[in-house]
Chains A and B, each alone.
Chain A
Amino acid sequence: MNTLGRFPRRRVLRGILGGAAVTVGVPFLDCFLNANGTALADTGAPLPTRFGTWFWGLGFNPGRWEPKTPGKIAALGPELAPLEPWKQKINVYSGMKVLLDGRVNTVHFTGPVALITGTVPAGQTVEAPSMDVLVSDVIGTNSRFRSLEVSCTGDPLHSQSRRSASSINPGEVSPLALYTRVFGPGFADPNAATFTPDPHVMVKRSALSAVADDRKAFVADLGAADRARMDEYFTSLRELEKQLDISLQKPAPLEACSVPAKVDQTPTGTEIETVKTNHRLFAQLLAHALACGQTRVINIAYANANSSLRRAGAYQTHHEYSHEEPVDLKLGYQPEMTSFYADITSSFADLLTALDGIREADGTLLDRTLVVASTDTGYAKLHSLDNIPLLTAGGASGRMKTGLHVAAVGDPGTRVGLTALQAMGIPVSSWGTRSMQATKAFSEVLV
């Protein structure tokens, strides 16, 4: 029986609560219908493209990461050496910058915010949402989690994903907590033979209507600013309702999905081995979360923009080295500072390994994903906003060519964001504001 309209939720659920648990008669959400709305999606709909962001602090040393020539990547610079095995599946964008239009460059803040939201912040005030929010607003509305954020350094506020100035989507800091949240109670294995809607979930879902009912009276006499914040709260409430709705539906089977093994409790913190371990665990869990349809958008904050990464026994952190360590005249760079880049890029390689390790359709999950990797500076020692490294990884389900180096010297870094949004099928013709407004995507990488 097909249902194209919307049933008032209470009427349907009441029917279920009064009797035994049933799977017939429950309104199907749009995501399970094909384009005509006449058949279940698992009878042949294309698998969705996934999106991810990856953030690290302190850029790379100019001249040591970019390939020498634009076009097909022959060889990566030494600081990207761990990505050599992946050079066919990534794109590297060099020479790009953040244009301030006279606004203050608050170090380790203005740069990353401008690149990830498209707008240079005014002082401390972020004026636009991050690109992953734009993407999840379109592709994440029908998955159990609109997006999943993780923070590998143990601080949830290192996440770069934000909807508004004061609304940062906090990152999970514990892989075990992420596992429990995604694959613990509340997880419905798409490939399970049977599915029974949980009556406890039904009552939870029904009960939330009382909370939504509180809305009118609450916002009645609020000012505009408070209203906007309460809008956000009620949006979150709808997300929760949707999450429960989804868990009351039999999920469509997903061949690529396998439930990962439970992970152990791990310590969290900024010591580099701890960060790498947690990142590896997160990467595995998030890859499975994508393959199992739990979300379509993942956001990984490897470190904060300052990069508080450190090595056991060292007096200085990555950040302190960037400013205090003298440049070795023979090598031409700061040795301790630069040593962290090897850890950072090998961790990014771990993410690609996790995504590429899951076969999906006629390729891998990585082929059906687009990850945008951004950072906060070009040459960190000087807080330079020139030649800021930007990378993408994955083929976006065939919509993005890979293995290319784009040298766009002097262009705003938002061109990468625009290109990514278009590759994801988001119909935008520009992204960003003022001098950071990008109006031309990189056609050389778009299919």
Chain B
Amino acid sequence: MIRISKLMPMAAAAACLTLWLGGSPFGSGPGAYADPSLAATAPSAVTRRISEEQYRQIIADVFGTSIKVGGRFEPEIRRDGLLAVGAGQISVTPSGLEQYATMAHNIAGQVVSDEHRRTLLPCKPADARAADDACAKRFLADVGRYLFRRPLKAEELDSRVAIASSTAKALHDFYAGLSEALSTILVSPNFLFRKETVEPDPEHPGQYRLDGYSKASQLSFFLWNSVPDRELLAAAEKGDLNARDGLDRQVDRMIASPRLEAGVRAFFSDMLGFDEFSTLSKDPVIYPKFGFQVIEDAREQTLRTIVDHLLRRQGDYRDLFTTPNTFLTARLGSIYGVPVVSPDGWPDAWVPYAYPQGDPRAGILAQVSFVAIHAHPGRSSPTLRGKALRELVLCQKVPSPPPNVNFTLVNDVKNSEFKTARERLTAHRTEPTCAGCHKIMDPIGLGMENFDSDGEFRLRENGVAIDTSGELDGMKFTDPVGLDKAVHDDPATPACLVNKVYAYAAGRDPAKSEAEWMKSLGQSFAEEGYKVPALLKTIATSDELYRVGPTAMGAVDIPRAKLASGKQEEEQR
């Protein structure tokens, strides 16, 4: 029998108190391997692996959307709340590279196919059954520049041309040779990883900055979730990005571009944890409406809502949590309980929709993408939703549950017929060992109990009226509309966004040396009416985004799989 120590409630409460002071029990900072001695200076360069979204976006941008990208991508990991930060800590496993290689061949094969070579290749070989180094070189240099985000070095290009040549000779097919060479570009670390190259900063002697190409890369992945385009690369080459007006011009152009939408979608997908959609499912007996089409529609609905509000309407970020404007399909209408008529009758069409004033279904927290992801397959979960709001929207870390909870205290057999979640979670609020942390989450989530696990709106649970009163850090509310307003008014909401946008762009949590600057970012965000394009511009044109320290050489020894027998892989090159 496990005894609960008297100290446990205090420890639990203390753990929860910590997060109010802005710290996190599990540490934050530039990843698990960082050298703490560099904390005082600028953050180190981070090599990031490109994500699945970025991979697809790049192929579409460079080769067009008719090139099909299939296969299984190696999973990404989330660190400090973002996949974009986890990207700096992952590598490629053997099975992952196997997949990348298959994908690369597949894509390259399509690029050189009859259908596509006319539009994608700049030249024709002298003889299609033989090598043609000049044409191969021209093509590979051109696409390589986009895919590597910089011109290929002589040796990189020469080796690819040699492959194209030898393969063409062996298989009597110029295009097969070109395809093979292109696939090695798509598998190269220069493509799969974003390396940050630094150079001394002449304007701040002793300090460093990203070089032109790395700057261009930082910008294009930030704003467009893809590789730099021709104009941005040219600006990098000319050194324009090192000048205030040159940088401004490019940033303005990029923010005005329709490609900004892809960048904004990618950011919010990451921030709101939309990768969880891939494993989301509900029990079909309990929730017969929740099929795969609803899941797809739900993701798209929130992203459309966000893009429409922030970009098209130039709206206040905080209003995302209260806006009645959204987009629906008929299936989503069936979940939310509203009729959706598409003009031409296509059942899958997207229709702009506006809830009436005061409707609890306004705001993105009421959407399936929030309430269904953060719930169980068979029922809703105030705790998961409260936790999600804290961590995703307010940047407040919730500690893990203590391991030795004595659940016998919470099994009141006489009252096992709890009808509502509020009743089921009574022990969370009344038991000292539980309440310390649960009072941070449950009062929020209980305000969302009108939304069942699949997102359907309900007023009763098991015949009992649902009580949606709760509070968020002292702001009391009686229904989801009140909760949304509390989130809107909470200063943590915009502060968290600023923090996450910067972390997303830089690939790491803000460093201690950047704390002052983060504060001023928050202030300018407020002064500009919480408009996200303005925030993007401020960050994209800052010095901080590009001020990266020299890499930490030899700082930390990473344990490797060494065995007593000493048998290890030998290097062959």
Contacts and interface: CB of A to CB of B under 8 A. Distances in A.
Interface in B165-188: 166-167, 169-171, 176, 180-181, 183-184, 187-188
Contact of A133 (B153, B189, B379, B561): B561
Interface string B343-360: 000000000000000000
A326 B555 contact: no
A230 B130 CA distance: 36
A217 to B, nearest CB: 7
B559 interface: yes
A123 B27 contact: yes
Given A383-B405, A427-B565, A213 B155 contact: yes
B558 A326 contact: no
A235 B89 CA distance: 16
A246 B384 CA distance: 48
A235 B97 CA distance: 10
Contacts of A44: none
B382 to A, nearest CB: 14
Interface stretch (A24-32, A124-132, A434-442): A124-132
A164 interface: yes
Given A232-B91, A233-B92, A382-B406, A317 B377 contact: yes
A168 B94 CA distance: 11
B377 A270 contact: yes
Interface string A135-179: 001100100011001000011110000011111111000000100
A156 B27 contact: no
A181 B93 CA distance: 15
Interface string A414-447: 0000000000001111000000000000000000
A17 B189 contact: no
Contacts of A168: 75, 77, 93
A208 B104 CA distance: 12
B45 interface: yes
Interface stretch (A73-81, A307-315, A358-366, A367-375): A307-315
A138 B563 contact: yes
B376 A211 contact: no
A101 interface: no
A217 B555 CA distance: 20
A391 interface: no
A158 B109 CA distance: 33
Interface stretch (B57-65, B190-198, B494-502): B190-198
B95 interface: yes
B401 A223 contact: no
Interface stretch (B28-36, B244-252, B482-490, B539-547): B28-36
B90 interface: yes
Given A316-B378, A382-B406, A207 B558 contact: no
Nearest to B89: A166
B300 interface: no
A243 interface: yes
Contacts of A312: 283-285
Contacts of B183: 204, 207
A271 B559 CA distance: 38
A187 to B, nearest CB: 13
A224 B565 contact: no
Contacts of B187: 208, 211
Interface string B29-50: 0011111000000001111000
Contacts of A154: 279
B96 A170 contact: yes
Contact of A230 (B26, B91, B553): B91
B312 interface: no
Nearest to A106: B400
Contacts of B5: none
Contact of A169 (B27, B31, B93, B163): B93
A381 interface: yes
A238 B47 CA distance: 21
A134 B565 CA distance: 11
A161 B378 CA distance: 30
Interface in A242-266: 243
A212 interface: yes
A140 to B, nearest CB: 10
B404 interface: yes
B159 A210 contact: yes
Given A107-B400, A167-B91, A382-B405, A207 B163 contact: yes
Nearest to B26: A123
B281 interface: yes
Interface string A317-337: 100100110110000000000
B276 to A, nearest CB: 10
B551 A128 contact: no
B565 A426 contact: yes
B378 A230 contact: no
Interface centre among B105, B181, B279 (most CB of A within 10 A): B279
A199 B168 CA distance: 12
Contact of B193 (A145, A155, A200, A233): A233
A48 interface: no
A316 B72 contact: no
B171 A229 contact: no
Contacts of B74: 170
A157 B78 CA distance: 12
A235 B197 CA distance: 23
A62 to B, nearest CB: 12
A351 to B, nearest CB: 21
Contacts of B21: none
B352 to A, nearest CB: 33
Contacts of A45: none
Query: Which of A149, A200, A224, A426 has its CB near the most chain B CB atoms (within 10 A)?
Result: A224
A125 B27 CA distance: 11
A164 B96 CA distance: 15
Contacts of B569: 141, 235, 238
Contacts of B105: 204
A70 interface: no
Interface in B489-518: none
Given A217-B153, A218-B190, A315-B378, A207 B72 contact: no
Interface of A: 14, 17-18, 105-107, 110, 123-125, 127-129, 133-134, 137-138, 141, 145-146, 149, 154-157, 163-170, 177, 181, 199-200, 202-204, 206-215, 217-218, 221-226, 228-230, 232-240, 243, 269-271, 308, 310, 312-317, 320, 323-324, 326-327, 381-385, 426-429
Given A128-B559, A166-B91, A314-B378, 4 more contacts: A206-B166, A224-B555, A238-B572, A326-B413
Interface of B: 2, 26-27, 31-35, 44-47, 72, 74-75, 77, 79, 86, 89-98, 101, 105, 153, 155-156, 159-160, 162-163, 166-167, 169-171, 176, 180-181, 183-184, 187-190, 192-193, 195, 197, 279, 281, 283-286, 376-379, 400-401, 403-407, 411, 413, 416, 424, 551-561, 563-565, 567, 569, 572-573
Return the 5 tightest CB-CB contacts between A and B, nearest first: A225-B33, A223-B551, A313-B285, A315-B378, A232-B91
15 contacts: A105-B404, A107-B401, A133-B561, A167-B90, A199-B170, A204-B105, A207-B181, A211-B189, A218-B195, A225-B34, A226-B45, A233-B97, A233-B192, A234-B189, A236-B94
